[in-house]
Structure 1
Amino acid sequence: MASLHPHNGTTNTDSKPKPKPEPITESEIRSEFSHHDPTIARINNGSFGCCPATIIAAQNRHQLLFLRQPDHFYFNTLKPSILRTRRLIQTLINADHLDEVSIVDNATTAAAIVLQNITWSFFTSIFNPGDAALILHYAYGAVKKSVQAYITRAGGHVIEVHLPFPVRSSSDIVFEFQKALHMGKANGRKIRLAVIDHITSMPCVIIPVKELVRMCRDEGVDRIFIDGAHAIGNIDIDVKDIGADFYTSNLHKWLFCPPSAAFLYCKMSDELSNLHHPVVSHEYGNGLAMESAWIGTRDYSAQLVLPEVMEFVERFDGGIEGIMKRNHEKVVEMAEMLVEAWVTELGAPPEMCASLAMVGLPVCLGIKSDGDALRLRKHLRECFKVEVPIYYRAPVEGEVGSIITGYARISHQVYNVVEDYYRFRDAVNKLVKDGFTCALLTK
């Protein structure tokens, strides 16, 4: 992730350089997140992210400015404020042009923008009936359903890349993706779109996107969309180096913005002028960035606080890069502690974990379905005050012996403490000691 300084001809005239802020203390971190339920061991930052009190206060200031004099806010404040956010994102992701960056509600909205454009290519016969879109089997559920809804209704075909889990190395993913590309092109079919997660949601693993994008280019895939919903604030993003046509990430998952805010990067090309926000409002036809900046009267404050967020992260040693490094190191340390305690395994090697890790649960818990995973998650929340997603991994044909079918997806963010993970460890140990199985939970 690039440092926050103007580049590529973009001049930041919004603010003068500020003195380096005072380093944040442990007590200040606790204060920033004191609105979290103190009774819960929250090791699930991955689902909804987190927002410090400082940023909540900044959001409230934006909200009150709008409510105080809406007309002035709309005509004089909103557009310059969104422009500041776009400039910061441009620098963070190393985009060449400001026009390549639009601010949207979330990654699902970004997917709708891209897929709507792909649909029109089918309707206008640029693409042919039966042409395909490629998506990972482990793609986020909402995005997977979006691909099905848009592509199949337009007459296209959807191909799912079945990835192995547990994952032993990135080469496992590359192999399966290459195989799917070749199968997808069988019988003369063309692959028009590839949707690739940068970090899959469940099970979570870092995908070697740069290599997969290069493979797509070599195989003639028309357009490539990277769903990096979990990425910004979690791993480095360099959209020029990745080389995809589209890239999206949520600002509210790992970059401390309130929900909901995200960006959509669209590589500069003739196609950029054909992209439109699904909500048609007064800015229609003025470019995607302008269309996205006004979709009617709503609360835009979550999209305006990124300057305050960057001031917040600069209080940590190493800034956002330091936060990412420490989160990764700590989540791996905690994951290995849990694996040792339960005599299980990680779902992916440490280098393929960002600030999230998949940890195998004891086989004796009897996790035999997605329903079991949900019920166990609820049981941990209600009886042990632990919030953590549980993943059911169905046995693969031919597997024998005691197969791990349940994995916990743990997260680490700056508010987490080691006691959160000890509570989870001890809760599972108690379940095992008591002879608990998921079959005992009421269905």
Structure 2
Amino acid sequence: MATEGNKKIIAVCQSGGEFETNKDGTLSYRGGQAHALDIDDRVKFEDFKVEVAEMFSCYMNSMSVKYLLPGNKKTLITISNDKDLKRMVKFCGDSVTVDVYVVAEEIVALNVSDMLSARFSAACGVDHCLDHVDYSKPNLSCFITDTEIQSEFAHHDLGVARMNNGSFGCCPASVIRAARRWQLRFLRQPDHFYYHELQQGLLESRTVIKHLINAEDVDEITVVDNATTAVAIVLQHTAWAFSEGIYDKGDAVLMLHYAYGAVKKSIKAYVSRTGGHVIEVPFNFPVNSNDEIVSEFRKALGKGKANGRKVRLALIDHVTSMPSVVIPVKDLVKICREEGVEQVLVDAAHGVGCVDVDVQEIGADFCTSSLHKWFFCPPSVAFLHCRKKHLDLHHPIVSHEYGNGLPIESGWVGTRDYSPLLVVPSALDFINRFEGGIQGIKKRNHDNVVEIGKMLAEAWGTNLGCPPDMCASMIMVGLPAGLGIAREKDALKLKTHLRKNFGVEVPIYFKDPEDGEGEGESITGYARISHQVYNKIGDYHKYRDAVSQLVSDGFTCACLPD
């Protein structure tokens, strides 16, 4: 960890022992284990904690780091941030070493020899052992600074203002390093990793997710590569029911008109081909209230039940992608129960880290969410939550774990990089460096994106795509009609033009003009604006000014080559 040209010191990191008070009041440390780590005055505290946590196999959230001042063996000093760590190096003067004490909760911090065989195994009751840990709140005395945030995302292209977190998310440097360590563990000794580390590591991720979404049991949580895979798992089960005659041909599957494109195609591939009748729930955009969506949903359910048909599955988005609107998912699930819909799948790809996801409150049979979009994991990782009565599902890729239960099946679907699925705890550690943890991040993102959306709409003389209470960390803002966005291809070309010529990245949604309105008379393009912790107000001013410049120059999409 040390770099050339800086003051270096060897940190003798110790854990697992006990402090004893001597007769003269000084402290001595007895027992435990020790590891040496080279550091200098430029090492980041977060990086230091990651190394130490891996050394002693303990959770960063439940770990504190302390040291004794040279010449003063009576007072323990706690290291909480970069300044504290740098101060420790400075205080050591000409000393070559410094004793550092890692204090972790006994129930969480385990010996290295126990880690792989017992730490995460169901037999040792990992879920029960970790129930006392608060996964939603930070455990810090000093929160992450703006400088540290920018350092975590220094790998972003500085030439482009990224306002499209919703598409691919973001991953901080500390989590990237954690993923790299998992990759190296596999590459170092693949057999040991496969037989002794992979499933245990996945169980830790599943346990974190269980607490995040308030699931009843860790066995209800399956970690997969993305939400589209999770949806495919459920749709495959539905397709089998049609093929095997459990469902009658013509029974209905319901989805929103604005369901994610890949999901709509999956429904066609799995349901339509096996005899299911697909019904889309339309609603107008811009949307003015939840009541509009609820009303259209009830109408669509009525169509689904017409002529004695049964609605076998309703697929409901928690946050639609394009256009982005927060759906009243609890209300719609309740309606499904009242109307006898057999199963409900909530597609919350934009859920965890963006809106509250409490699976017990939502009450659906299945729920999926990506964790690389708004939860800072590297791409790509998601989970599928299944209520216990629906655990007889299978991964679409059949491999050696087939028949051992969906969570285990999904834990090995061939040789590939599983590190994104294994770093969920590391992502939580990063999140909990922020004031308010995940709840604080969500609130600040929402408040900021609403303020920004209003600023852009006012600057362009347009409107928002929905009320502020129907957006989360993304908001739809109308683009000036004069840009001449006449088709979906125009929206894509304009997005590319703005990136290449103005250094701004924002997806654009094309909306068909209202009946009777000609080209250029109505708003047909809406920018989907995202806000995440790395964004600055200057990013949005840059986008505002770029669009305004195009309008001022008399630019239209017709100017762009196909």
Partner of 1:338: 456
C-alpha deviation, 1:19, in angstroms: 6.0
Partner of 2:539: 420
| CA deviation vs aligned residue, 1:271-325 (integer Å, no higher than 9, x gap) | 322x000011111111101101111211100011111111111110101110000
Q: Is 1:395–2:480 an aligned residue pair?
A: no
Partner of 1:435: 554
Partner of 1:108: 228
Determine helix, strand or coil for the equivalent of 2:527.
Answer: strand
Q: 2:494 aligns with which of 357, 366, 376?
A: 376
Partner of 2:524: 405
C-alpha deviation, 1:12, in angstroms: 3.1
8 Å contact kept, 1:46–1:230: yes
Using the alignment, how far apart are the partners of 1:171 and 1:14 within structure 2? 38
Judging changes above 3 Å, is the alpha-carbon distance between structure 1 residues 21 and 140 closer, same or farther for their aligned structure 2 residues? farther
Determine helix, strand or coil for the equivalent of 1:221.
Answer: coil
C-alpha deviation, 1:22, in angstroms: 3.7
Partner of 2:69: none
8 Å contact kept, 2:494–2:557: yes
Using the alignment, how far apart are the partners of 1:15 and 1:248 within structure 2? 25
Determine helix, strand or coil for the equivalent of 1:10.
Answer: helix
Q: 1:359 aligns with which of 477, 501, 526?
A: 477
C-alpha deviation, 1:414, in angstroms: 0.2
Using the alignment, how far apart are the partners of 1:222 and 1:397 within structure 2? 37
Using the alignment, how far apart are the partners of 1:96 and 1:393 within structure 2? 41
Partner of 2:127: 10
Paired letter, 1:434: D
Q: Report which structure shows greater RCO (CA 8 Å, sep ≥6).
A: 1
Using the alignment, how far apart are the partners of 2:524 and 2:252 within structure 1? 32
Q: Is 1:188–2:308 an aligned residue pair?
A: yes
Judging changes above 3 Å, is the alpha-carbon distance between structure 1 residues 216 and 16 closer, same or farther for their aligned structure 2 residues? closer
Determine helix, strand or coil for the equivalent of 2:398.
Answer: coil
Determine helix, strand or coil for the equivalent of 2:526.
Answer: strand
8 Å contact kept, 2:215–2:360: yes
TM-score using structure 1 length: 0.95
Partner of 1:130: 250
| CA deviation vs aligned residue, 1:237-258 (integer Å, no higher than 9, x gap) | 1101101000000000000000
Q: 2:434 aligns with which of 306, 316, 331?
A: 316
8 Å contact kept, 1:42–1:388: yes
C-alpha deviation, 1:15, in angstroms: 11
8 Å contact kept, 2:449–2:475: yes
Partner of 2:419: 301
Using the alignment, how far apart are the partners of 1:375 and 1:13 within structure 2? 50
Partner of 2:78: none
Using the alignment, how far apart are the partners of 2:142 and 2:180 within structure 1? 23
Q: 1:240 aligns with which of 360, 376, 390?
A: 360
Paired letter, 2:129: N
Paired letter, 1:43: M
Partner of 2:197: 77
Determine helix, strand or coil for the equivalent of 2:453.
Answer: helix
Aligned alpha-carbon RMSD (Å): 2.0
Q: Is 1:349–2:467 an aligned residue pair?
A: yes
Using the alignment, how far apart are the partners of 1:110 and 1:396 within structure 2? 36
Residue ranges of structure 1 left out of the alignment (5+ in a row): none
8 Å contact kept, 2:369–2:384: yes
Using the alignment, how far apart are the partners of 2:285 and 2:233 within structure 1? 30
Q: 1:224 aligns with which of 316, 335, 344?
A: 344
8 Å contact kept, 1:14–1:84: no
Using the alignment, how far apart are the partners of 2:335 and 2:516 within structure 1? 31
Counterparts in 2 of 1:285-300, with a 5 A limit?
Answer: 285-300=403-418
Partner of 2:161: 41
Residue ranges of structure 2 left out of the alignment (5+ in a row): 1-60, 63-107, 109-124
Structure ranking higher in strand proportion: 2
Determine helix, strand or coil for the equivalent of 1:253.
Answer: coil
Using the alignment, how far apart are the partners of 1:276 and 1:166 within structure 2? 39
Judging changes above 3 Å, is the alpha-carbon distance between structure 1 residues 349 and 84 closer, same or farther for their aligned structure 2 residues? same
8 Å contact kept, 1:194–1:225: yes
C-alpha deviation, 1:14, in angstroms: 11
Judging changes above 3 Å, is the alpha-carbon distance between structure 1 residues 223 and 15 closer, same or farther for their aligned structure 2 residues? closer
8 Å contact kept, 1:21–1:311: no
8 Å contact kept, 1:21–1:315: no
Using the alignment, how far apart are the partners of 2:480 and 2:552 within structure 1? 11
8 Å contact kept, 1:122–1:128: yes
Using the alignment, how far apart are the partners of 1:142 and 1:357 within structure 2? 22
Partner of 2:266: 146
8 Å contact kept, 1:33–1:52: yes
Paired letter, 2:128: T
Determine helix, strand or coil for the equivalent of 1:297.
Answer: coil
C-alpha deviation, 1:71, in angstroms: 1.2
C-alpha deviation, 1:20, in angstroms: 2.8
8 Å contact kept, 2:333–2:362: yes
Paired letter, 1:304: L
Judging changes above 3 Å, is the alpha-carbon distance between structure 1 residues 442 and 399 closer, same or farther for their aligned structure 2 residues? closer
Judging changes above 3 Å, is the alpha-carbon distance between structure 1 residues 155 and 53 closer, same or farther for their aligned structure 2 residues? same
Counterparts in 2 of 1:203-214, with a 5 A limit?
Answer: 203-214=323-334
Using the alignment, how far apart are the partners of 1:298 and 1:22 within structure 2? 38
Using the alignment, how far apart are the partners of 1:396 and 1:186 within structure 2? 30
Radius of gyration: which is bigger? 2
8 Å contact kept, 1:44–1:387: yes
